[in-house]
Chains A and B, each alone.
Chain A
């Protein structure tokens, strides 16, 4: 996207020789306390794919996603995202890579002292969008997630589902080329969940790559996409138009 054009960053661009959005080779993640969350992940995600990440609780789904936007560093292996070698990226460059990735955090991560509208606007202030654009786009996105009426509420005044929708609004507001959503429907009723899924499908249809961790069997089975199952830190299944595959 336009905000990504930055001479310094372009100079850092590593020719990966492919149009892959994500490439992982032999990726391991061991947390400082000795927990081995990922144990040798190899996979590729193409531009414009829609990928479900499934697997039991504690399997390593969130860890896998955190490595992509560099919240965590791999202990071994190589991760290339949008052509950037994430593991070797200099501290200073990290923000510019993150700006191209919209993240819906499993625990929302809203700024508690900012209102709903301010939280969404923050992502645009960071990339120095003009005020006018920020105001227009914020209200657009808030109506997409049906939160217009809560624009001036604080996160603590919202229900879990509402907070989740603010997180989704913030993730999509800059039209990133990649969206990482960690259980974006976890706190939503079926109807709202479907609304969000339609929104994500629409965004995906317009060219955005989407990686979504979920425990929602209905959604995975009805809205067929690529399914990657992770168990105990390794990929145990990777199918196009796959099924959820676990009993709930």
Chain B
């Protein structure tokens, strides 16, 4: 094909859009309308996803330390937990903060449980990067101190009934060099306020609202799947509508195609202007809904800011939400225009 012929095909393709103005209008509408609905839907789903993501990211892990863990150990435990890769932030809630929070909720009954009498443990609030990793993170925290104990001294008020067994256990658990508990193993009499060294786990429990998180994931993924199915359905509806319109367009022009062939045109020669025409129609058909969505969405974000802000939510800003969706619309529009046009012309070329 000569270069001038390529130029000719482009000129003809563009001219054909205006030569068949009425049919072009029908084709453009049948591309623009479904694409507009599709665009609205894509914006809607991505915002729903964003809201759901916001909710998910509020899911956190709570780590309760053993009440006996000495204060000077807490910082290093906190740092150890924070070094787990899934974890974003660890906040220490001291027992004092804990009781204060609790008191706000239930009040009077907790009078007097201050200082030494505070029954609450120290705890950490752990935030993860990805809510899907809550479970993993919780398990990793549990493992971190699995089988590790701190030795503390504690007042014993009762003599253990079977000292020999006690002895065995202690031999297993006590590392060498430490003073043993000779003074209580003589089996003689009962001594008040005897001091005993015992082993306790560092972490009492790790909680992450198991059921809640899993349910939330189920709900969000259901919403996403339904959205996906609707989008696919819309794309197919659009294709069907467009194919139909183009079929009608070409049927009206099959007479012209026949004449061109009888005058000696090759299939390629006839096809090219249709190709260009389809692309132009696809472009216009996606440009219109894109422009409407672009400006309409900006307006919507603007107007809804206040109301949604009160609810602690926020729409995806226009410059983040629209570009990829508009690009998708343009690609779909042009592909549909071109394919519809080229596929429909095929049938009429056998002259």
User: A: which residues have CB within 8 A of B?
Assistant: 69, 71, 91-92, 94-96, 98-99, 103, 105, 109-113, 122-123, 125-128, 130-131, 170
Contact = CB atoms under 8 A, between A and B. Distances in A.
Interface stretch (B30-38, B195-203, B260-268, B338-346): B260-268
11 contacts: A69-B262, A71-B262, A92-B267, A94-B261, A109-B262, A111-B256, A113-B20, A122-B263, A126-B269, A130-B4, A170-B263
Contacts of B16: 113
B261 A112 contact: no
A111 B351 CA distance: 16
B263 A123 contact: yes
Contact of A109 (B5, B20, B259, B266): B259
Interface string B1-44: 11011001000000010011000000000000000000000000
B105 interface: no
A3 B51 CA distance: 67
B4 A99 contact: no
B256 to A, nearest CB: 6
Contact of A128 (B5, B20, B260, B263): B5
Mostly, the B contact residues are helix
A123 B4 contact: no
B350 interface: yes
Given A125-B5, A126-B269, A128-B5, A113 B256 contact: yes
A51 B297 CA distance: 72
Contact of B4 (A91, A94, A95, A128): A128
Interface string B239-267: 00000000000000000100111111111
Interface of B: 1-2, 4-5, 8, 16, 19-20, 256, 259-267, 269, 350-351
A105 B259 CA distance: 10
Nearest to A97: B264
A98 B267 CA distance: 13
Contacts of B263: 98, 103, 122-123, 126, 170
B264 A99 contact: yes
B253 to A, nearest CB: 9
A91 B261 CA distance: 11
A11 B4 CA distance: 28
B261 A95 contact: yes
A246 B263 CA distance: 33
B20 A111 contact: no
Contacts of B256: 111-113
B85 to A, nearest CB: 63
B265 A95 contact: yes
Nearest to B1: A128
Contacts of B261: 94-95, 98
A20 to B, nearest CB: 22
B262 A131 contact: no
A184 to B, nearest CB: 16
Nearest to B259: A109
A95 B1 contact: no
Contacts of B8: 125
Contacts of B264: 95-96, 98-99, 123, 126-127
Contacts of B19: 113
Contacts of A127: 264
Given A71-B351, A92-B266, A111-B259, 18 more contacts: A69-B262, A95-B264, A95-B266, A96-B264, A98-B262, A99-B264, A103-B263, A109-B262, A111-B260, A113-B19, A113-B20, A123-B263, A125-B5, A126-B260, A126-B266, A128-B4, A130-B4, A170-B263
Among the interface residues A94, A95, A99, A110, which one has the most CB atoms of the partner chain B within 10 A?
A95
A37 to B, nearest CB: 18
Given A91-B350, A111-B259, A113-B256, A126 B265 contact: yes
Among the interface residues B264, B265, B266, B351, which one has the most CB atoms of the partner chain A within 10 A?
B264
A123 to B, nearest CB: 5
Nearest to B7: A131
A24 to B, nearest CB: 20
